[in-house]
Amino acid sequence: MPDLERRFTIRANDFVNAGEVSLEIQSILKHIGFNPALIRRISVCAYESEMNVVMHGGDGEALLKVSPNSVTLVFTDQGKGIKDIELAFKPGYSTANLKHREMGFGAGMGLPNIKESADSIEIHSEEGHGTTLNIGFELEGDFG
């Protein structure tokens, strides 16, 4: 049984509220008292994943699970999915459109940064059926 489990809704193309879910996750982790370095790694993953759902995915949700030995983030969306996952993880690869780029997105570093910051990631995606990204962090005395 996880100590804590929280679900958040994410809306496609909602750039007004984009980023709010990651901020709330960050605030929960601070409240629990994890160390700043771990909170930073988790927040990077949460923000990049949330923005990917908003920009590239579809309506979806984030799930935060905190257990004695791990923190898990699961981002699920019902969007168009990813055709070539290996390509999507290539640094610099992005299908961001002009509107996204004008807002400063589209560096193609989100997925590579998630991979770098997490202890484990698992991605499932099918073209036309959405994407699930499971991101894990191991806890080893990460409080304070």
Ligand X SMILES: Nc1ncnc2c1ncn2[C@@H]1O[C@H](COP(=O)(O)OP(=O)(O)O)[C@@H](O)[C@H]1O
Please report, as ranges, the residues that interact with Mg ion according to CB under 5 A.
Answer: 52, 110
> 23 φ, ψ to 5°?
-65, -40
23 makes contact, choosing from Mg ion, ligand X, none, with CB < 5 to 8 Å by partner type, with none
Helix, strand, coil percent content, the chain, rounded in steps of 5 = 35, 30, 40
- Which of 47, 72, 76, 77 forms a contact with ligand X (CB under 6 A)? 77
Binding mask 103-132 for ligand X (x = CB under 6 A): --xxxxxxx-------------------x-
Residue nearest to Mg ion according to CB distances in the complex: 110
User: What is the nearest approach in angstroms of ligand X to the Cβ of residue 110?
Assistant: 2
User: What is the nearest approach in angstroms of Mg ion to the Cβ of residue 88?
Assistant: 9
Other CB atoms closer than 10 Å to residue 99's CB: what's the count?
12
Taking the least distance from each CB to Mg ion, the nearer of 110 and 130 is 110
CB 136 within 8 A of CB 114: no
State whether residue 109 is helix, strand or coil: coil
